[in-house]
Amino acid sequence: MTTGLHPGGTPQDPPPTGNQPLPRQAPIGQGALPADNRPRSSVITARAAASFEPVGRSVATARSFVRDTLQGWGFSDIVDDAVVLTSELVTNAVVHAGTAADVLCLRSDDGARIEVADHYPEREIPLQGAAITMSSPDREGGRGLQLCAALASRWGVDYTPTQKLVWFQLDLPARPVGTRTAGPSLPAALLPLADGRVRVAVVQIDRTGSIASWNEDAEELFGYAAEQVTGKPLTDLAAWPHTPGTSTGIAEALRLSRWEGSYGIRGADGRVTPVYASHLRVRDTDGEPSTVCLLVRDHERAVLQTPLRGPAPDAASTPDGQNTDPFEVFIGSPAPDDLDGLLQRTVERARDMLDGDSAFLLLATDDETELEVRASTGLPSARQRFARVPVEAGPGRYGSARMPAVHEDLQAVPGAVPLLSGTGMRSVVTVPLKVEGRLTGSLGVAAEGPNKYSNEEALRLQFAADRIALAVESARLGELERLRRGSLSFLVEASDLLAGTLDRDQTLALMAQMTVPTLATWCAVYTIADRSSDPYLSYVLHEDEELIDGIKSLLSKIAPPDPVPTPGARVWAAPAEAAHQAALRTSMRSLGLGEPTRRVSSGIGPTLATASAVGGETVVLPLVARNRVIGMLTLGKPTDEHFRQEILELAEDLSRRAALALDNARLYSERTAISQSLQRSLLPPDLPHIEGVEVEVIYRAAGEGNEVGGDFYDLFPIRDGVYGFAIGDVCGTGPEAAAVTGLARHALRLLAREGFGGPAVLERLNSAILDEGARSRFLTLLYGELWPQEDGSAKLKVVCAGHPLPLRLRQDGTVEPAAEPQPLLGVMEDLELYEQTVTLDPGDVLLCVTDGVTERREGTRMLGDDGLTDVLTTCTGLTAGAVAARIMRAVERFASDAPSDDMAILAMRVPGLQKD
């Protein structure tokens, strides 16, 4: 990265280009781009520039550059929006466009302008007036301009032939009501003027929120006499500045022990007078609570505003007088370099600082609606870690997390701090962690005794929280970034693994192995065969293999979770309850106390280790594919552990991918079973036993999952003492060729048994193939009839229709063709075929093969008829089975690649008459 910082001045604005910037409210994608409406009178007072290399880490560096620059200029109000927009635009340049990115920050009196330019060499300059189409926010790219339209005051895109420049302007907002500021020491002449003497209105509010007293200054400021307002609710007069995202109003502020801030009071003339107020809640000698409100005009707030506390002289400086970092004073040096270590150190220092019995720290979720327990001391941390509580909504809310709060006795306000329920803590003080006005967490210290903490301790703890809030938020964002990168890598790897198999059992194993121990301590997968079936426990895995059988036994004895299609994880309490009861029974038996009265189910007897392993939080995620629940993925933690929300979100993403992979495996298994069943129906049944003739067949279909292809064979009895045999090859491979195979095999059997001779059988089969029309395929076929003779020989009548000629091996080792070639089937309508008679003497072998054998190739070499003849000459004296096996070995060894064509080998041998 290269940077440059330029002094302030009044440089000219960048020259206008073909496309002028769009105003924020302009509709996108409609008509030409409007003209630039940026005020030309704005004076640029400072600028800072930097260039970033086209690597992924440049995006984070660019964010830091913009954040540091704007904070250095005092523009903290617009830092977050500027960082978000810069991050998107720099990502587009260095990640998607793959070029360097130039970032220029310009400061003016009314805000800041930031320009991001890339140098993509092939970018086209859009035509003036072309519509701009915004992409979906869910897509990977194209969100930068949408964010500019949503966040920036003004923005635009400037094109040149060599670069594209996207700029946006962020105006400084008006100072929001209630913001606390600290100003420098000023001479008396520079102090703000007050209208006459400073009047302080003193208003006392009773427990119902009604005005009980109203002093003379209040009458002067707001125009109401005391008798006009006494007994009326203060809410009738207060104009409360509601802040989006908070639910605290005037009624809630009046119930706090102390509150400072700004709002308005409607006077007798109907006008709203902005006031700065300080509220203090007290009680009289009878114990009756009331709130005293001191109010001044808002521009006189210095009269009431509590000064920001600085560190004590002995805590913020070293003995030699050198100042030290307040963060290091509180945390200690060296500070932990990881988030968990930093948070744990924080709660320990906070507990010691206020002499408490326990302390805890919660971090806000991304939407700031919940707080997540991340560190504690003096509490059952294992039980509370990663638990979540709402901030300010519904039962069990976490008090007013956006303000300091002191609870003198939790027994008087049960449930005010849900984290401390059942811990024995009585008094507690909590303060918010805020970064640039955003709630990022809450820090609390508790004690076992009541009335231990007051507003003084709250201020001390708030000062400490302010010192560490930025460091905690920085560490939290770093952890989130690492988690997101790890999650993306995890999901990519999981997708690759799941896509690499279509085996159902292997898919189930992969699902479990990817979740344990990365996401959970143990995992169980339930599957549902069809809509009418109940969930079935298909796979169980634990990081300790010795506990798998115990968990499987436990889960098999309890009802499976309901197959609810609602996305997301839901808690399943049954395993933990069953494990608890089983452990209780085991413990009581070991003490000789017999069985407890309450029983979950009979026969559940896991060991105490198994019960502990399953005794934590268990969640169920549905496996939904093609709008149907096909199973459930169950994840579990050991005793006293909870799942983090980030882990559950990652598990939900994994469950969607796993469900689709599991359903694909199911569909593949079903279709494979159907295909194999149909293919097996095309194969002939067991070969008949022929007295006096040895027969052996070897068949190999090409292609994964194929049992039958274009090659086929058959051997069947025609009538007593006469057998038909055939070996053929249909053009092509796969299911289409197998369909013709089935037609040919069944037609041969039917026609032969009707008494037709060889030529007549093949001529009628030829007509049947041609009748198939466009589905017909030509066919080579060797068909013959076999008559075993009483003298030990065998008589054959053979028709060879375009098929490789059968080879006859004599006892002396000579090999010769046993038939002559004739036209193949399925091409011509009129065929004139004839049959030839062959006599096999005792010891002779007849070998019939398909062209997948003779056309076996290795590069330019081919086995061929000559190669087959050479192999057959070495088979003298072998049985028919040994001959077929030797031929197949020779074919397989001829080439290193897997066969690409179907192969069939039919060997028949006449052994001769056996002598007694």
Compute the distance between CA of residue 350 and CA of residue 344 in angstroms, rounded to an integer: 10
530, amino acid identity = D
Name the pLDDT band for 319 (thresholds 50, 70, 90): very low
Choose among 31, 39, 32: nearest CA to 13: 39
Digit-coded pLDDT (tens) for 410-435: 888 777 777 787 788 889 998 888 88
Digit-coded pLDDT (tens) for 563-590: 888 888 888 888 877 777 776 776 666 6
Residues with Cβ < 8 Å from 869, sequence gap 6 or more? 807, 815
Name the pLDDT band for 212 (thresholds 50, 70, 90): very high
H runs (alpha helix) in 559-644: 574-590, 608-614
Contact 92, 145 (CB under 8 A): no
Compute the distance between CA of residue 213 and CA of residue 556 in angstroms, rounded to an integer: 71
| Total residue length of the chain | 916
Which residue, chain included where needed, has tokens 């000062």? Answer: 463
Name the pLDDT band for 121 (thresholds 50, 70, 90): low
Name the pLDDT band for 839 (thresholds 50, 70, 90): very high
Compute the distance between CA of residue 498 and CA of residue 776 in angstroms, rounded to an integer: 40
Distance of CA 148 to CAs 65, 114, 160, Å? 19, 11, 20
Angle CA 807–812–815, to nearest 5: 20
The pLDDT score that the predictor gives to residue 304 is 82
Instruction: For the beta carbon of residue 112, count every other beta carbon within 10 angstroms.
Output: 24
| φ, ψ (nearest 5 deg) of residue 488 | -65, -45
Judged against a pLDDT cut of 70, whether residue 321 lies above it is answered with: no
Which residue, chain included where needed, has tokens 């072309």? Answer: 130
Digit-coded pLDDT (tens) for 721-763: 899 999 988 886 666 777 777 888 888 999 999 989 999 999 9
Reading the block at residue 36, the tokens are: 């630039």
Mean predicted confidence (pLDDT) in 457-462:
85
Digit-coded pLDDT (tens) for 595-630: 544 444 444 444 566 666 776 788 898 998 888 888
Mean predicted confidence (pLDDT) in 771-795:
86
Choose among 317, 234, 226: nearest CA to 275: 234
Pick the more confident residue, 284 or 703: 284
Q: Does a cis peptide bond (omega within 30 degrees of 0) precede residue 517?
A: yes
Query: Which three-class secondary structure state does DSSP give residue 798?
Result: strand
Mean predicted confidence (pLDDT) in 156-178:
77
Return the DSSP state at 408. S
53, amino acid identity = E
The pLDDT score that the predictor gives to residue 158 is 83
Our CA dihedral for 776, 782, 788, 791, rounded to 10 degrees, sits at 170
- For the chain, the first-to-last Cα distance in angstroms comes to 100
Judged against a pLDDT cut of 50, whether residue 784 lies above it is answered with: yes
The pLDDT score that the predictor gives to residue 210 is 92
Reading the block at residue 590, the tokens are: 């070991």
Digit-coded pLDDT (tens) for 20-48: 333 333 333 333 333 344 444 468 888 88
Judged against a pLDDT cut of 70, whether residue 441 lies above it is answered with: yes
Digit-coded pLDDT (tens) for 648-657: 888 888 888 8
Choose among 768, 773, 795: nearest CA to 784: 795
Compute the distance between CA of residue 756 and CA of residue 750 in angstroms, rounded to an integer: 9
Judged against a pLDDT cut of 90, whether residue 213 lies above it is answered with: yes
The pLDDT score that the predictor gives to residue 204 is 94
Name the pLDDT band for 206 (thresholds 50, 70, 90): very high
The pLDDT score that the predictor gives to residue 22 is 36
H/E element, 316: helix 313-316
Sheet with 807-809, edge to edge strand ranges: 694-700, 903-909, 845-849, 807-809, 815-817
Return the DSSP state at 724. E
H/E element, 151: helix 143-151
- Max Cα distance, the chain (Å): 143
Distance of CA 715 to CAs 437, 506, 726, 881, Å? 89, 40, 7, 15
